[in-house]
Amino acid sequence: MSFRISADAIGTDNARRLAFLEDDYAALKRQMARRGIDLDAIADQVAAFGVALPSWGVGTGGTRFARFAGSGEPRGLDDKLEDCATIHQLTRATPTVSLHFPWDKPSDATALKAQAASLGLGFDAVNSNTFQDQPGQPVSYKFGSLSHPDKAVRDLAVAHNIDCIRLGETLGAPALTVWVGDGANFPGQQNFTAAFDRYLDSMAQIYAALPQDWSVFIEHKLFEPAFYATVIADWGSSYLAATELGPKAKCLVDLGHHAPNTNIEMIVARLVRFGKLAGFHFNDSKYGDDDLDSGSINPFQLFLIFNELVDAAQRGTPGFAPAYMLDQSHNVTDPIESLMNSAMEVQRRYAQALLIDRAALTEAQTACDALGAHNILKQAFNTDVSPLLAEVRHRAGGAIDPLALYRASGYRAAKAQERPPRGGSSAGIV
């Protein structure tokens, strides 16, 4: 018997916190009313917001130097779904899971879909993997996959992506996310143009295999695992590829995949404007693709991204429906805690972006009132929406304080009993 947190446990914990929440929510509601904002209407919008969980994110992550296992780590897909369900149970903010193949390839996709549904979960975009060799693989991705000089390697990578689509179809997923590590460690190693053309040719084959209502998300990344050049290194290359492929191809923005100092919110605006924003891999970073918890390093940046998204939604951009996914590496925390925290952080910045007075903002922008416009954003960002988020969770049957409840629940300790330690070495690669 697998341990689950009971609805009763949530109810009991919430009951202890309710009076204070009501006081705080009421105070915030009065304050918002003075600004002309109906907090309950905002609550409805926040309640409708969800972010997908990455199947790989519920296991402990690592660096090339080491991985330090956690206790009670999921042993397989069943355990991962269970952990995802727990996150959604408490936060009510993560209704879908994004699977990564072949790491989480189900033996029976139809059964998996039913199992997920029984846990209240659906599936978001599926992810392919051609940056690692699998045992028995006939040719190697050491020097690339979709852009490899050798057609046999490209064919293998294309076939794998098409397999992912087929699996995803069965699971009810809407899209395929393609990230490749293809690139070069040395100037001269790769002909940039030839490699890009081979990538386009491979992607065209994958594109042709997309179901009618599917999308393919192209994920760019500045560097790592290739350290001199990467085939899809920036949003410009991503946009070119997506445009060459066709309307089903769009550009995915991972917050950690940019050069230092990049204005990511502007990239979001550009992709929205040209109909090519696929969605996000949320995380935070200080140096590179650090895969830290969302909003843990630069929460204002996350807010500014949601400012663009809310602006796009409110002005009625046609076809605007970005996909939201977490993509983090949890090296020093309980992954369930990090994912709950991150989902609520993303929700927090979205909620704050909803508080922006857009009419006043437009007026200030038109009048070149730089400081006035800025302060409109800042007022929203400085507003503590914690009571709003807790209220939304409470209304939906979630926990007022998911972290506290989770820690008190004994979930991790129970899983440490149920799940024998994962064999994963901590030796690193270096």
Residues in region 223-242 near a second copy by CB under 8 A = 223-225, 227-229, 233-237, 239-240
- What is the distance between the alpha carbons of residues 402 and 390, in angstroms, rounded to a whole number? 9
Of 123 and 235, CB closest to a second copy: 235
Place of tokens 């549904």: 117
Residues 49-108 that bind a second copy (CB under 8 A): 56, 61-68
Q: Hey, which residues between 326 and 345 contact a second copy (CB under 8 A)?
A: 329, 331-334, 337-338, 341
| Dihedral sign of CA atoms 167, 169, 172, 177 in order | positive
Which of 127, 294, 296, 409 is the binder for a second copy (CB under 8 A)?
A: 296
CB 241 within 8 A of CB 204: no
Beta carbon nearer to a second copy, 109 or 340? 340
Is the CB of 212 or the CB of 382 nearer to a second copy?
Answer: 382
- Which part of the chain contacts a second copy (CB under 8 A), choosing from 39-47, 109-117, 159-167, 254-262? 254-262
Is residue 184 a contact residue for a second copy (CB under 8 A)? yes
Kindly identify the residues of this chain, within the stretch 19-58, that bind a second copy according to CB under 8 A. 20, 23-24, 27, 30-31, 34, 56
Give the one residue of 36, 48, 316, 429 binding a second copy; rule: CB under 8 A: 429
Per CB under 8 A, 318 contacts a second copy: no
State the number of binding residues for a second copy (CB under 8 A). Answer: 121
Q: Kindly tell me which residue out of 118, 132, 314, 417 binds a second copy, with binding defined by CB under 8 A.
A: 132
> In the chain, what is the straight-line distance between the N-terminal and C-terminal CA atoms, in Å?
40
* Residues contacting 252, CB < 8 A, separation 6+: 177, 179, 217, 218, 219, 220, 238, 278, 279, 280, 281, 323
> How far is Cα 364 from Cα 371, in angstroms, rounded to an integer?
9
110 sits near a second copy (criterion: CB under 8 A): no
User: Residues with Cβ < 8 Å from 356, sequence gap 6 or more?
Assistant: 307, 310, 376, 377, 380
The 10 Å Cβ neighbour count of residue 209 is 17
- The interface region with a second copy, picked from 75-83, 117-125, 143-151, 166-174 by CB under 8 A, is 143-151
Site for a second copy contains 15 (CB under 8 A)? no
Three-state SS for 164-204 is HHHHHHHHCCCEEEECCCCEECCCCCCCHHHHHHHHHHHHH
Segment interacting with a second copy (CB under 8 A) among 90-98, 160-168, 211-219, 257-265 = 257-265
The yes or no reply on residue 430 touching a second copy (CB under 8 A) is yes
Q: Is the peptide bond before 102 cis (omega within 30 degrees of 0)?
A: yes
Q: Which one of residues 124, 182, 219, 293 is an interface residue with a second copy (CB under 8 A)? A: 293
One-letter amino acid of 15: A
What does 303-354 look like in DSSP terms, one character per residue? HHHHHHHHHHHHTT-TT---EEEE----SSS-HHHHHHHHHHHHHHHHHHHH
Stretch that binds a second copy, among 7-15, 111-119, 169-177, 180-188 (CB under 8 A): 180-188
| Contact pattern for a second copy over residues 376 through 405, marking x by CB under 8 A | xxx--xxxx-x----------------x--
12 part of the interface to a second copy, by CB under 8 A: no
Cβ neighbours for 151, distance < 8 A, ≥ 6 positions apart: none
Smaller CB separation from a second copy, 417 or 426: 426
214 binds a second copy (CB under 8 A): no
Instruction: Tell me the Ramachandran region of residue 99: left when phi exceeds 0, alpha when psi lies from -120 to 50, beta otherwise.
Output: beta
Candidates 89, 98, 190, 294: give the one binding a second copy (CB under 8 A): 190
Is residue 192 close enough to count as binding a second copy by CB under 8 A? Answer: yes
CB of 363 to a second copy, least distance (A): 11
Identify which of residues 84 and 153 has a Cβ nearer to a second copy in the complex.
153
Rounded Cα–Cα distance for residues 366 and 377 (Å): 15
Nearer CB in complex with a second copy: 115/262: 262
By CB under 8 A, tell whether 188 contacts a second copy.
yes
Q: How far is the CB of 9 from a second copy (least distance, A)?
A: 20
Site for a second copy contains 292 (CB under 8 A):
yes
Asked whether position 285 contacts a second copy by CB under 8 A, the answer is yes
H or E segment and range at residue 408:
helix 402-409
288 binds a second copy (CB under 8 A): yes
Would you state the structure tokens that stand for residue 322, as one six-digit string?
């970005």
The continuous run of DSSP H or E covering 98 comes out as: strand 96-98
